[in-house]
């Protein structure tokens, strides 16, 4: 596959002491050589070596930058193409100048994700890994990033491959049964098929149970913060916003923007929903009525109801209670630093099972309890497992659900003593669906696959 040579800044713009500009493609050495002045021509150096030198305007011979250049020849690179990485000073002006030099020497500015796309097209990573790189770029928190990283490293792919292997084994046994129909093979095959299908079904189930958390990590826990004017909603939001919003990744061709709509709470991204202005809903209930606001609130994964410790409950508070009834709520009693006027028993009567935290946004007190309550909702009592494999991608979830359904069909067929070649149809379907997760082409000759991996009679 011959492709043109692309270049892009691989580190976040305008930050950090050093910036990296990545060039990938068959002409990358040639292109950088036009502007690089060092001890050796880059096209003559060994692969995976670093070289000090200067970049010059080719016609003027005017020095633009001092640089370190890494040379990595295909195929041992992320894209499996020749890659040159130019390390230069991180300032915005110098980065732009270096990039422009490289572009005017013959490279094309890479599209977003294009390095990753090439890695996929060249078979360096599979589809789910490529998708995970995209997630990584977009991840809003450290935790979301870890999930994406583990997928980039191929954890999900390995799991999927293992499951497909089990299905291949099942299909191989079916082939044996079809070719050597002895009467007592059948029970044995039946049991073996059932066990393998049950195992695959169980594993898919485990994966799918992570899907909701994975989705939240990816997309954020959509959150509405509601309460009467002046109870302290904005102040609480400010207390929740943490400094570490920007996360830098060192995956090829990726930089990330800070997205302000997200609040990072212990690694759980809260996406502050802004449907018709309900992000901070001062007078939503008063304005549009209980029924309508309830509809809006139903779009949220989480509703933070803020009440004032220093005031008695009012009609508007009750209207909010009504609108949020039965929905996932955390009650925040703010202005805890002031004397109590609120009837807490009354609040608890409306929300007996929902977490309630006392805060003072002014004195920054109780914020940790609030964070804890939110994180608890996310993990829903589950112990957090650092190395868990999450599925978060909607396409993967859809395929996995279909594969689980195919497994169910196969199991019904096995238990009803359907002919094994009927069962095989469902097993093959699950195998293909799982293959789609990792982007494996399904056109391969199935039987060849089976017999290249198994010796008949063994």
In whole angstroms, the minimum distance from the beta carbon of 230 to Zn ion comes to 8
Q: Which stretch binds ligand GDP (CB under 6 A): 1-9, 72-80, 231-239, 241-249?
A: 231-239
Q: Tell me the sheet residues that pair with 329.
A: 303
Comparing CB distances to ligand GDP, the nearer of 95 and 347 is 347
Binding-site residue positions: 22, 85, 124, 230-235, 249-255, 274-277, 458
Is residue 112 part of the contact set for ligand GDP (CB under 6 A)?
no
Question: Which of ligand GDP, Zn ion, none does 334 bind, CB closer than 5 to 8 A by kind?
Answer: ligand GDP
- What are the Cα distances from residue 209, in Å, to 127, 136, 181, 336, 381? 22, 21, 40, 38, 14
Tokens 């109870």 belong to: 231
In this structure, are strands 262-265 and 356-358 parallel, antiparallel, or unpaired?
A: unpaired
Question: Which of ligand GDP, Zn ion, none does 429 bind, CB closer than 5 to 8 A by kind?
Answer: none
**Alpha helices (H) along 260-391:** 284-297, 315-324, 344-350, 367-379
Residues in contact with ligand GDP, shown as a per-residue x/- string from 301 to 330 under the rule CB under 6 A:
------------------------------
Within 8 A by CB and 6+ apart from 44, the residues are none
- Angle of CA points 332, 337, 339, to nearest 5°: 100
Binding-site residue positions for K(+): 230, 249, 251, 254
- Note every long-range contact of 187-192, with CB atoms under 8 Å and residues 24 or more positions apart, other chains counting: 189/420, 190/414, 190/417
Judged by CB under 5 A, the residue of 234, 255, 310, 402 near Zn ion is 234
Is residue 338 part of the contact set for ligand GDP (CB under 6 A)?
yes
Tokens of 9: 């800044």
Spatial separation of the C-alpha atoms in residues 243 and 248, rounded to whole Å: 14
Is residue 334 part of the contact set for ligand GDP (CB under 6 A)?
yes
Is residue 396 part of the contact set for ligand GDP (CB under 6 A)?
no
In whole angstroms, the minimum distance from the beta carbon of 231 to Zn ion comes to 9
Comparing CB distances to ligand GDP, the nearer of 32 and 265 is 265
The CA-based dihedral angle spanning residues 214, 217, 219, 221, taken in that order and rounded to the nearest 10 degrees = 110
Is residue 449 part of the contact set for Zn ion (CB under 5 A)?
no
Site for Zn ion, rule CB under 5 A: 233-234
Which residues here bind ligand GDP, judged by CB under 6 A? 227, 229-235, 334-335, 337-338, 360-362
């Amino acid at each position: 596959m011959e492709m043109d040579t692309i270049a892009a800044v691989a580190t976040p713009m305008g930050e950090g002491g050093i910036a990296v500009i990545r060039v990938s493609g068959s002409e990358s050495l040639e292109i950088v050589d036009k502007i690089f002045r060092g001890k050796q021509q880059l096209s003559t150096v060994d692969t995976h070596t670093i070289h000090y030198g200067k970049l010059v305007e080719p016609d003027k011979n005017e020095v633009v930058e001092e640089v370190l250049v890494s040379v990595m020849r295909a195929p041992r690179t992320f894209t499996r193409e020749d890659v040159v990485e130019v390390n230069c000073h991180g300032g915005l002006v110098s980065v732009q100048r270096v990039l422009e030099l490289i572009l005017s020497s013959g490279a094309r500015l890479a599209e977003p994700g294009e390095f990753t796309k090439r890695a996929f097209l060249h078979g360096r990573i599979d589809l789910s890994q490529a998708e995970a790189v995209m997630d990584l770029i977009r991840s809003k928190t450290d935790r979301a990033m870890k999930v994406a990283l583990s997928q980039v490293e191929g954890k999900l792919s390995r799991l999927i491959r293992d499951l497909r292997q089990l299905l291949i084994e099942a299909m191989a046994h079916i082939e044996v049964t079809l070719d050597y129909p002895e009467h007592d093979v059948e029970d044995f095959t039946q049991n073996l098929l059932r066990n393998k299908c049950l195992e695959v079904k169980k594993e898919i189930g485990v994966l799918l149970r992570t899907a909701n958390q994975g989705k939240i990590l990816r997309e954020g826990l959509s959150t509405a913060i509601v309460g009467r004017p002046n109870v302290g909603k904005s102040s609480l939001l400010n207390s929740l916003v943490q400094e570490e919003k920007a996360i830098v990744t060192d995956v090829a061709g990726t930089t990330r923007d800070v997205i302000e709509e997200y609040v990072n709470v212990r690694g759980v991204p809260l996406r502050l929903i802004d449907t018709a202005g309900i992000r901070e809903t001062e007078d939503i209930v008063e304005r549009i009525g209980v029924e309508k606001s309830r509809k809006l609130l139903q779009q949220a994964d989480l509703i933070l109801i803020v009440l004032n410790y220093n005031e008695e409950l009012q009609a508007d508070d009750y209207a909010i209670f009504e609108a949020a009834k039965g929905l996932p709520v955390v009650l925040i009693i703010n202005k805890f630093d002031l004397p109590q006027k609120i009837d807490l028993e009354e609040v608890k009567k409306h929300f007996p099972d929902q977490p309630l935290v006392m805060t003072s946004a002014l004195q920054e007190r109780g914020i940790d309890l609030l964070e804890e309550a939110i994180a608890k909702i996310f993990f829903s009592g589950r112990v957090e497992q650092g190395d868990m494999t999450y599925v978060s991608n909607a396409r993967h979830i859809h395929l996995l659900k279909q594969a689980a359904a195919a497994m169910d069909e196969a199991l019904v067929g096995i238990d009803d003593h359907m002919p094994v070649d009927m069962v095989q149809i469902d097993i093959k379907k699950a195998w293909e669906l799982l293959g789609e997760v990792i982007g494996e082409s399904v056109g391969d000759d199935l039987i060849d696959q089976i017999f290249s991996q198994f010796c008949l009679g063994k």
